[in-house]
Structure 1
Amino acid sequence: MTNKVILAACDREIENPDADGHPDIHAIRLIGEGNIVVAEGTVKINAMEHRAVSIRPFIGAKNFEISRNFYRDLGFRETVLFHNMSLFKTEELGFYLQDAYVKDWIDNSMIFLEVRDVNRFWNELVALKLETRYEDVKLTPIRQYDWGSECFLHDPSGNLWHFGEFVK
Protein backbone atom coordinates (compact mmCIF):
# COMPACT_ATOMS: atom_id res chain seq x y z
CA MET A 1 0.00 0.00 0.00
CA THR A 2 1.32 3.45 -0.89
CA ASN A 3 0.73 6.44 1.36
CA LYS A 4 0.12 9.74 -0.36
CA VAL A 5 1.35 12.85 1.42
CA ILE A 6 0.19 16.35 0.67
CA LEU A 7 2.14 19.27 2.06
CA ALA A 8 0.02 22.39 2.09
CA ALA A 9 0.81 26.00 2.88
CA CYS A 10 -0.98 27.56 5.80
CA ASP A 11 -2.57 31.00 5.88
CA ARG A 12 -0.83 32.15 9.04
CA GLU A 13 2.39 34.04 9.45
CA ILE A 14 5.41 31.91 10.30
CA GLU A 15 6.56 32.97 13.77
CA ASN A 16 10.06 31.47 13.88
CA PRO A 17 12.02 32.09 10.70
CA ASP A 18 15.67 31.03 10.73
CA ALA A 19 18.59 33.49 10.58
CA ASP A 20 18.12 33.88 6.81
CA GLY A 21 14.41 34.61 7.17
CA HIS A 22 13.29 31.21 5.84
CA PRO A 23 10.40 29.58 7.69
CA ASP A 24 10.68 26.13 9.23
CA ILE A 25 7.84 23.85 8.17
CA HIS A 26 7.23 20.62 10.10
CA ALA A 27 6.70 17.70 7.71
CA ILE A 28 9.21 14.87 7.53
CA ARG A 29 8.68 11.61 9.43
CA LEU A 30 5.55 9.81 8.31
CA ILE A 31 3.50 8.00 10.93
CA GLY A 32 0.24 6.22 10.21
CA GLU A 33 -1.56 3.88 7.90
CA GLY A 34 -4.00 4.11 5.05
CA ASN A 35 -5.20 7.55 4.05
CA ILE A 36 -4.29 9.26 7.33
CA VAL A 37 -0.65 10.20 7.72
CA VAL A 38 0.93 12.44 10.35
CA ALA A 39 4.26 14.01 9.50
CA GLU A 40 6.85 15.50 11.78
CA GLY A 41 10.34 16.88 11.39
CA THR A 42 11.70 19.99 9.68
CA VAL A 43 11.83 20.98 6.03
CA LYS A 44 13.46 24.23 5.04
CA ILE A 45 11.52 26.22 2.45
CA ASN A 46 13.71 27.97 -0.11
CA ALA A 47 12.13 31.26 -1.11
CA MET A 48 14.23 31.53 -4.29
CA GLU A 49 12.13 32.14 -7.38
CA HIS A 50 13.46 30.36 -10.48
CA ARG A 51 13.01 32.17 -13.76
CA ALA A 52 14.84 29.52 -15.74
CA VAL A 53 15.23 29.84 -19.47
CA SER A 54 17.03 26.57 -20.16
CA ILE A 55 18.98 23.77 -18.56
CA ARG A 56 22.10 22.53 -20.29
CA PRO A 57 24.01 19.56 -18.94
CA PHE A 58 27.71 19.12 -19.66
CA ILE A 59 28.65 15.72 -21.07
CA GLY A 60 32.06 14.34 -21.86
CA ALA A 61 33.49 12.66 -24.93
CA LYS A 62 36.03 9.88 -25.23
CA ASN A 63 36.81 11.06 -28.78
CA PHE A 64 35.57 14.62 -29.26
CA GLU A 65 35.53 14.59 -33.09
CA ILE A 66 33.67 11.29 -33.30
CA SER A 67 31.14 12.53 -30.73
CA ARG A 68 30.66 15.80 -32.61
CA ASN A 69 29.88 13.86 -35.81
CA PHE A 70 27.57 11.51 -33.91
CA TYR A 71 25.46 14.32 -32.46
CA ARG A 72 25.23 16.13 -35.80
CA ASP A 73 24.08 12.85 -37.39
CA LEU A 74 21.54 12.50 -34.59
CA GLY A 75 20.03 15.80 -35.74
CA PHE A 76 21.46 18.28 -33.24
CA ARG A 77 22.74 21.67 -34.47
CA GLU A 78 26.28 22.43 -33.33
CA THR A 79 27.68 25.76 -32.24
CA VAL A 80 31.43 25.59 -31.65
CA LEU A 81 32.23 27.55 -28.49
CA PHE A 82 35.90 26.65 -28.04
CA HIS A 83 38.29 24.18 -29.64
CA ASN A 84 37.27 21.70 -26.94
CA MET A 85 33.58 22.49 -26.32
CA SER A 86 30.44 22.76 -28.43
CA LEU A 87 26.80 23.52 -27.74
CA PHE A 88 24.39 21.08 -29.40
CA LYS A 89 20.74 22.09 -29.71
CA THR A 90 17.43 20.74 -30.90
CA GLU A 91 14.77 23.42 -30.96
CA GLU A 92 15.56 25.46 -27.82
CA LEU A 93 16.97 22.57 -25.79
CA GLY A 94 20.68 21.96 -25.62
CA PHE A 95 23.71 20.43 -23.96
CA TYR A 96 27.44 21.11 -23.88
CA LEU A 97 29.80 18.49 -25.31
CA GLN A 98 33.32 18.70 -23.87
CA ASP A 99 36.59 17.19 -24.99
CA ALA A 100 36.91 15.57 -21.57
CA TYR A 101 36.69 11.94 -20.60
CA VAL A 102 36.44 10.59 -17.07
CA LYS A 103 35.19 7.01 -17.23
CA ASP A 104 33.34 7.05 -13.89
CA TRP A 105 31.58 10.30 -14.86
CA ILE A 106 30.58 9.09 -18.33
CA ASP A 107 29.48 5.68 -17.04
CA ASN A 108 27.13 7.45 -14.63
CA SER A 109 25.80 10.13 -17.00
CA MET A 110 22.19 9.93 -18.13
CA ILE A 111 20.21 12.51 -20.07
CA PHE A 112 16.43 12.36 -20.51
CA LEU A 113 14.95 14.06 -23.57
CA GLU A 114 11.17 14.19 -23.68
CA VAL A 115 9.79 13.70 -27.19
CA ARG A 116 6.23 14.12 -28.47
CA ASP A 117 5.98 10.66 -30.08
CA VAL A 118 8.45 8.04 -28.84
CA ASN A 119 7.36 5.49 -31.47
CA ARG A 120 8.10 7.88 -34.30
CA PHE A 121 11.37 8.90 -32.65
CA TRP A 122 12.41 5.25 -32.29
CA ASN A 123 11.71 4.53 -35.97
CA GLU A 124 13.76 7.57 -37.03
CA LEU A 125 16.55 6.57 -34.64
CA VAL A 126 16.73 3.04 -36.06
CA ALA A 127 16.74 4.41 -39.62
CA LEU A 128 19.93 6.38 -38.86
CA LYS A 129 21.83 3.06 -38.37
CA LEU A 130 24.07 4.68 -35.77
CA GLU A 131 25.08 1.28 -34.36
CA THR A 132 26.75 0.36 -37.65
CA ARG A 133 28.35 3.77 -38.16
CA TYR A 134 29.79 4.36 -34.67
CA GLU A 135 31.65 1.97 -32.41
CA ASP A 136 30.14 1.34 -28.94
CA VAL A 137 26.75 2.85 -29.83
CA LYS A 138 23.89 0.76 -28.39
CA LEU A 139 20.15 1.10 -28.94
CA THR A 140 17.56 -0.37 -26.59
CA PRO A 141 13.97 -0.61 -27.87
CA ILE A 142 10.98 1.13 -26.34
CA ARG A 143 9.90 0.02 -22.89
CA GLN A 144 6.45 0.74 -21.47
CA TYR A 145 5.98 2.01 -17.90
CA ASP A 146 3.08 3.34 -15.84
CA TRP A 147 4.34 6.90 -16.41
CA GLY A 148 4.90 6.53 -20.18
CA SER A 149 7.45 4.93 -22.48
CA GLU A 150 11.08 5.40 -23.45
CA CYS A 151 13.89 4.02 -25.58
CA PHE A 152 17.60 4.25 -24.87
CA LEU A 153 20.79 5.14 -26.70
CA HIS A 154 24.40 4.89 -25.54
CA ASP A 155 26.56 7.38 -27.44
CA PRO A 156 30.10 6.50 -28.64
CA SER A 157 31.55 7.54 -25.27
CA GLY A 158 29.00 5.68 -23.13
CA ASN A 159 26.64 8.52 -22.13
CA LEU A 160 23.16 7.04 -21.73
CA TRP A 161 20.30 8.91 -23.38
CA HIS A 162 16.65 8.26 -22.50
CA PHE A 163 14.14 9.41 -25.12
CA GLY A 164 10.70 9.30 -23.59
CA GLU A 165 7.08 10.26 -23.80
CA PHE A 166 4.89 10.75 -20.72
CA VAL A 167 1.32 9.43 -20.52
CA LYS A 168 -1.07 12.27 -21.10
Structure 2
Amino acid sequence: MTPPPTGLRVRDVRPFIGAADLAVSKAFYVALGWQVEYEDTHLALLANGGHRFYLQNAYAKEWVENTMLHVTVDDAAAAHAHIASLLDTGGFGGARVAPPKREPYGALVTYVWDPAGVLLHLAQWLDE
Protein backbone atom coordinates (compact mmCIF):
# COMPACT_ATOMS: atom_id res chain seq x y z
CA MET A 1 0.00 0.00 0.00
CA THR A 2 1.42 3.37 -1.00
CA PRO A 3 1.30 6.03 1.72
CA PRO A 4 -0.66 9.20 1.01
CA PRO A 5 1.37 12.05 -0.52
CA THR A 6 0.89 14.18 2.60
CA GLY A 7 0.08 13.52 6.21
CA LEU A 8 1.40 11.31 8.95
CA ARG A 9 3.96 8.70 7.88
CA VAL A 10 4.50 6.26 10.71
CA ARG A 11 7.96 4.71 11.05
CA ASP A 12 7.53 3.04 14.44
CA VAL A 13 5.00 2.66 17.25
CA ARG A 14 6.18 2.25 20.83
CA PRO A 15 3.37 1.89 23.36
CA PHE A 16 3.84 2.84 27.00
CA ILE A 17 3.08 0.02 29.43
CA GLY A 18 2.56 0.64 33.12
CA ALA A 19 4.30 -1.20 35.94
CA ALA A 20 3.47 -1.33 39.63
CA ASP A 21 7.10 -2.27 40.35
CA LEU A 22 9.40 -1.31 37.49
CA ALA A 23 12.24 -3.62 38.57
CA VAL A 24 9.99 -6.71 38.82
CA SER A 25 8.23 -6.03 35.52
CA LYS A 26 11.52 -5.31 33.76
CA ALA A 27 13.01 -8.57 35.09
CA PHE A 28 9.90 -10.43 33.87
CA TYR A 29 10.20 -9.11 30.31
CA VAL A 30 13.96 -9.74 30.24
CA ALA A 31 13.30 -13.35 31.33
CA LEU A 32 10.84 -13.62 28.41
CA GLY A 33 13.58 -12.56 25.99
CA TRP A 34 13.32 -8.77 25.71
CA GLN A 35 16.49 -6.68 25.90
CA VAL A 36 16.79 -3.37 27.74
CA GLU A 37 17.91 -0.70 25.27
CA TYR A 38 17.53 2.25 27.63
CA GLU A 39 16.60 2.71 31.26
CA ASP A 40 16.47 5.27 34.00
CA THR A 41 14.62 5.30 37.33
CA HIS A 42 11.23 5.87 35.68
CA LEU A 43 11.37 4.24 32.25
CA ALA A 44 12.84 1.30 30.34
CA LEU A 45 12.83 0.78 26.58
CA LEU A 46 12.53 -2.96 25.86
CA ALA A 47 13.23 -4.54 22.46
CA ASN A 48 12.74 -7.93 20.87
CA GLY A 49 13.08 -8.72 17.16
CA GLY A 50 13.07 -5.06 16.14
CA HIS A 51 9.90 -4.30 18.13
CA ARG A 52 9.93 -2.02 21.16
CA PHE A 53 7.81 -0.72 23.98
CA TYR A 54 8.35 1.55 26.95
CA LEU A 55 7.84 0.12 30.42
CA GLN A 56 7.15 2.95 32.80
CA ASN A 57 7.12 3.26 36.55
CA ALA A 58 3.46 4.30 36.55
CA TYR A 59 0.50 2.33 37.80
CA ALA A 60 -3.21 2.99 37.71
CA LYS A 61 -5.01 -0.32 38.29
CA GLU A 62 -7.88 0.31 35.86
CA TRP A 63 -5.52 1.45 33.08
CA VAL A 64 -2.88 -1.25 33.50
CA GLU A 65 -5.36 -4.10 33.85
CA ASN A 66 -7.04 -2.96 30.62
CA THR A 67 -3.79 -2.79 28.65
CA MET A 68 -3.23 -5.57 26.12
CA LEU A 69 -0.45 -6.32 23.65
CA HIS A 70 -0.94 -8.71 20.76
CA VAL A 71 2.49 -10.23 20.01
CA THR A 72 3.06 -12.65 17.12
CA VAL A 73 5.31 -15.57 18.09
CA ASP A 74 6.60 -18.61 16.21
CA ASP A 75 5.34 -21.18 18.71
CA ALA A 76 2.61 -20.40 21.26
CA ALA A 77 2.95 -23.80 22.97
CA ALA A 78 6.71 -23.37 23.43
CA ALA A 79 6.09 -19.86 24.77
CA HIS A 80 3.62 -21.29 27.28
CA ALA A 81 6.07 -23.96 28.46
CA HIS A 82 8.90 -21.43 28.81
CA ILE A 83 6.80 -18.90 30.71
CA ALA A 84 5.24 -21.55 32.97
CA SER A 85 8.72 -22.71 33.98
CA LEU A 86 9.77 -19.10 34.69
CA LEU A 87 6.71 -18.53 36.84
CA ASP A 88 7.45 -21.69 38.82
CA THR A 89 10.51 -19.87 40.22
CA GLY A 90 8.12 -17.50 42.00
CA GLY A 91 9.97 -14.24 41.37
CA PHE A 92 7.37 -12.38 39.34
CA GLY A 93 4.58 -11.42 41.72
CA GLY A 94 1.11 -11.94 40.29
CA ALA A 95 2.25 -12.89 36.78
CA ARG A 96 0.43 -15.88 35.31
CA VAL A 97 0.02 -17.80 32.08
CA ALA A 98 -2.84 -19.78 30.52
CA PRO A 99 -2.44 -22.81 28.25
CA PRO A 100 -2.58 -22.11 24.51
CA LYS A 101 -6.08 -21.69 23.09
CA ARG A 102 -7.16 -21.82 19.46
CA GLU A 103 -9.02 -18.61 18.67
CA PRO A 104 -11.62 -18.25 15.90
CA TYR A 105 -9.57 -15.56 14.14
CA GLY A 106 -6.92 -18.12 13.14
CA ALA A 107 -4.33 -18.08 15.90
CA LEU A 108 -3.18 -20.32 18.71
CA VAL A 109 -2.83 -17.92 21.64
CA THR A 110 -1.05 -18.16 24.97
CA TYR A 111 -2.42 -15.51 27.34
CA VAL A 112 0.09 -14.07 29.79
CA TRP A 113 -0.51 -11.53 32.54
CA ASP A 114 2.61 -9.62 33.52
CA PRO A 115 3.36 -8.76 37.18
CA ALA A 116 1.24 -5.58 37.00
CA GLY A 117 -1.70 -7.20 35.17
CA VAL A 118 -0.97 -6.22 31.54
CA LEU A 119 -2.38 -8.94 29.26
CA LEU A 120 -0.14 -10.28 26.51
CA HIS A 121 -1.67 -12.26 23.65
CA LEU A 122 1.21 -14.42 22.37
CA ALA A 123 -0.29 -15.48 19.05
CA GLN A 124 0.94 -18.08 16.60
CA TRP A 125 -0.82 -17.68 13.26
CA LEU A 126 -2.02 -21.11 12.12
CA ASP A 127 -2.29 -20.27 8.43
CA GLU A 128 1.38 -19.36 7.97
Shorter chain as denominator, the TM-score bin is 0.7 to 0.9
d(CA) in 2 for partners of 1:130, 1:61: 21
What is the match of residue 119 of structure 2?
160
Quick check: 1:118 aligned with 2:76? yes
CA contact 1:136–1:158 (8 Å) conserved in 2: yes
d(CA) in 1 for partners of 2:90, 2:36: 22
State how 1:76-155 maps to structure 2 within 5 Å. 76-129=34-87, 132-146=90-104, 147-155=106-114
State how 1:14-33 maps to structure 2 within 5 Å. none
Q: Quote how far apart the aligned CAs of 1:49 are.
A: 6.5
Q: How many residue pairs get matched?
A: 123
Sequence identity, in percent? Answer: 26
State how 1:49-60 maps to structure 2 within 5 Å. 51-60=9-18
d(CA) in 2 for partners of 1:131, 1:153: 16
What is the match of residue 19 of structure 2?
61
Q: Which runs of 5+ in 2 are unaligned?
A: none
Q: Describe the superposition over 1:5-64 as per-residue Cα deviations: whole angstroms up to 9, x where unpaired.
A: xxxxxxxxxxxxxxxxxxxxxxxxxxxxxxxxxxxxxxxxxx567653332110011011
Runs of 4+ in 1 over 4 A off after TM superposition: 47-51
CA contact 1:137–1:153 (8 Å) conserved in 2: yes
What is the match of residue 29 of structure 2?
71
Normalised TM-score (structure 1): 0.65
d(CA) in 2 for partners of 1:91, 1:49: 28
d(CA) in 1 for partners of 2:86, 2:23: 19
CA contact 1:130–1:137 (8 Å) conserved in 2: no
CA contact 1:131–1:138 (8 Å) conserved in 2: no
Q: Quote how far apart the aligned CAs of 1:115 are.
A: 0.6
Normalised TM-score (structure 2): 0.84
Judged with a 3 Å threshold, the aligned counterparts in structure 2 of structure 1 residues 50 and 69 are, in CA distance, closer, same or farther, namely: same
Q: Which amino acid aligns with 1:66?
A: V
Judged with a 3 Å threshold, the aligned counterparts in structure 2 of structure 1 residues 131 and 138 are, in CA distance, closer, same or farther, namely: farther
Greater relative CO, 1 or 2 (CA 8 Å, sep 6+): 2
Q: Which amino acid aligns with 1:70?
A: F
Alignment RMSD? 2.1
CA contact 1:110–1:161 (8 Å) conserved in 2: yes
Q: Which runs of 5+ in 1 are unaligned?
A: 1-46
